Structure 1
Amino acid sequence: MPVAVPELGSYDFVQETKEDLPWADLITLDFSLYGTPEGNQQLAKTLVKAVREDGFFYVKNFNISQERVNRQFAIGKQLYEVPLEEKLKYVPQGLEFNGDFTHDHPQVLQQFLPEVEEFARSLHTEVLDPLHEILAIALGLPVDYLKNIHQYDVKSEDHLRYMKYTKFSPEENDKLGGLWGRGHTDLGSFTLLFRQPVAALQIKNHATGEWSWVKPVDGTLTVNTCDALSFLSGGYMKSTVHRVAVPPKDQQHVDRLGLLYFSRPNNDVELRTIKESPVLREQGFTENEFEKSGNPVPTMETWTFAKQKWQRTKNVAWGDKKFENAQILPGWNERAYA
């Protein structure tokens, strides 16, 4: 349902890079096919290929207008223009509107919360629910199986996030060794990344181990597959390693503002391999790392908090193997990625 929106300045996207980068050749899911038995079957085949081979893919025709997306970038821009002394009064938090979380945000964001909530909920109905239905079809499950464990109004760590990488000087970029963010996997189900043209995202090919750049494509969402889906499928779906590189030289003079949604199963969901899937049984994907090790299988809440505790460890140096390969939970040790 549309909500009244306050006045807001526009958000101007920078020009795409003119450098010839080694772009990843990613699959695109066209949601104009969604909603018929034939279209859903076609999308299911395409989605399996995407999550098995690349882990990253594009979605187009997902029924959210570019104007609404641009508004969210404009809101994020205003949020990051709040003076530092004001920002320090708040604890950074994602935006979730299921009633389980408080909303202690700077005033500049408070006035937009009804609009942000409407946008976040629309990501479930227009993007995530279809993805979960299509994936359930691909796994031979009841069509609502994955939707039922990803319900927006049941407590989870789902959230919308505005994320800004502030530009560095050439000297600072050199000291960073060409990376703004090291290789990692996301801990949830799917991560949705809205197109923004500052090239920086790179993904690691599952088969070759080579890194390639993710091209910002007009009118699409970039989606990646994450840890929880890998656990739930016994490794059939692969959690994709990705990183944030220093942008090409013709874009290093600007900040990089991101608009993302992190989808995660409901907190009480146990991350066991889905035994009901005939596809997983037939192809031999019947146990994940926790099950193989004989250790307790965590709930999504336990996994989230354990992984975040590791991610937020202070006063450690990258390259410290005790940290990079630390045990997150019994049965799972983290891995170091370049």
Structure 2
Amino acid sequence: MQSHGSYTDIQNNFPGLPPFPDDVPTAPLLRLSLGKLLAGDPTECERLFQASVEIGFFYLDLQDSGHGVSLLGDADKLFTVGEKLFELSLEEKKTFDFSAQNSYFGYKGQGLSTVDKAGNLDRNEFYNVSKDDIIGISDPLPAPEVLKQSRKQQESFMLGSHVIVSLVLNILNDKLHLPQDTLSNLHRWRSTGGDQVRFVKAPPQPVDDRRTALGQHTDFGSVTVLFNRLGGLQVLPPGADAEWVYVRPLPGHAIINLGDAMVKFTNGLLRSNIHRVAAPPGIQGDSTRYSLVYFSRPEDSVMLRRLDGSDLIPPIEKDQVEEEISSKDWIIRRALGRRVDLHKDIDYEKAAGTEQMSRRIRV
């Protein structure tokens, strides 16, 4: 693996934060241009498909288009909102934990989910905000005042991210030779689903006990749009001898990755790569890590199974059992499956996602 040491420090690091160390191996993710993708550049679209098949992660440079610059501005505003959100008392934040109602929206406190088979607990807190709530197509959920006051900012960020998601889906749709709009019609903006914004906070870990903050997993849905400024995200590239490597945050870029739904729709052709969050490397480990994520999921009623109409998607093999499960049920199982406060016995593998399926198909 190689690092992105060829870029300058100004391009590589965020002002006011400790620099990402140059001696840490990093994932050699492709760096794609939003401007070129929006323009339909054939080479750039092919590179997106390549990344989606090989590892399911890539950088998206947002600085070369007006839409991208606007999205970066929305993200900056919501990072400030996130800091204020997590400054609230634990007692107040816990009143917005809706998991007892089988909901994955709202607050999750630190140490409520397992991160490994040994039963170690996570070291981050987060808050999920429903897209359907923000755009008014579902009943509103109770929320802290800081989130009520920033609903317009959240909607702008969600819509901007959804445009990125739709672009990715349409390019993949074309590359897979699917009938026009097949994928985008499963992810309509004003249809009910599990789309959400997640605010995340991970405080510095003890110097003598720095370990995984969020356990290895694949994402639940279709496309993830991630903004973070400190290291911590790690991916496990394909291959029997692969080792965990950091994904270096780059200013002006989002990190895009595919989720389980894309694996199920394409019977393993596209990849939802396993990843986790560890302590930030080097001196970054002494700082609080904030992240901002937009998760796009298929509409609630969509069944996660192989799509028809493509000559590239592998057929269902005779001995292959295709699980019949709706997007909504899949997300609930995955989102709440490792909550120690909800389950006496946690099936760690059951909550892991499609990674094993993806690896099996490639053997």
Query: Which TM-score tier does this pair reach, normalised by the shorter chain?
Result: 0.7 to 0.9
Q: Tell me whether 1:106 sits opposite 2:134 in the alignment.
A: no
Could you tell me how far apart the structure 1 residues matched to 2:155 and 2:251 are?
24
Could you tell me how far apart the structure 1 residues matched to 2:89 and 2:339 are?
24
Which secondary structure state, in structure 2, belongs to the residue aligned with residue 258 of structure 1?
Answer: strand
1:64 to 50, 65, 68: 68
Which secondary structure state, in structure 2, belongs to the residue aligned with residue 132 of structure 1?
Answer: helix
Letter in 2 for 1:200: G
Q: Tell me whether 1:272 sits opposite 2:310 in the alignment.
A: no
Asked if structure 2 preserves the Cα contact closer than 8 Å seen for 1:134 and 1:143, the reply is no
**Deviation of 1:328 (Å):** 8.6
Query: Hey, which bits of structure 1, 4+ residues long, moved more than 6 A?
Result: 331-335
CA RMSD of aligned residues (A): 2.9
Distance 1:28 1:19, change over 3 A: closer
Which stretches in structure 2 are left out of the alignment for 5+ residues? 1-13, 98-106, 108-127, 359-363
**Residue matched to 1:6:** none
Could you tell me how far apart the structure 1 residues matched to 2:143 and 2:160 are?
22
**Deviation of 1:12 (Å):** 6.9
Distance 1:19 1:155, change over 3 A: same
**Deviation of 1:209 (Å):** 2.7
Which secondary structure state, in structure 2, belongs to the residue aligned with residue 163 of structure 1?
Answer: strand
Could you tell me how far apart the structure 2 residues matched to 1:34 and 1:247 are?
31
**Deviation of 1:109 (Å):** 1.8
Letter in 2 for 1:106: P
Which stretches in structure 1 are left out of the alignment for 5+ residues? 1-10
**Residue matched to 1:203:** 235
Distance 1:249 1:101, change over 3 A: farther
The residue correspondences of 1:1-338 to structure 2 (distance < 5 A) are: 13-37=16-40, 39=41, 41-61=42-62, 63-65=67-69, 66-91=72-97, 92=107, 93-96=128-131, 97-98=134-135, 99-125=137-163, 127-173=164-210, 178-196=211-229, 198-207=230-239, 208-280=241-313, 285-287=314-316, 292-293=320-321, 295=323, 297-314=324-341, 323-326=347-350
Letter in 1 for 2:233: L
TM value normalised by structure 2: 0.77
**Deviation of 1:206 (Å):** 1.2
TM value normalised by structure 1: 0.82
Distance 1:294 1:136, change over 3 A: closer
Which secondary structure state, in structure 2, belongs to the residue aligned with residue 23 of structure 1?
Answer: coil
Could you tell me how far apart the structure 1 residues matched to 2:332 and 2:214 are?
21
Could you tell me how far apart the structure 2 residues matched to 1:327 and 1:242 are?
14
**Deviation of 1:84 (Å):** 2.0
1:86-106 C-alpha deviation (Å, 9 max, x unpaired): 212222242313422423111
Distance 1:307 1:315, change over 3 A: closer
Letter in 1 for 2:315: T
Distance 1:332 1:160, change over 3 A: closer
Q: Percent identity?
A: 26
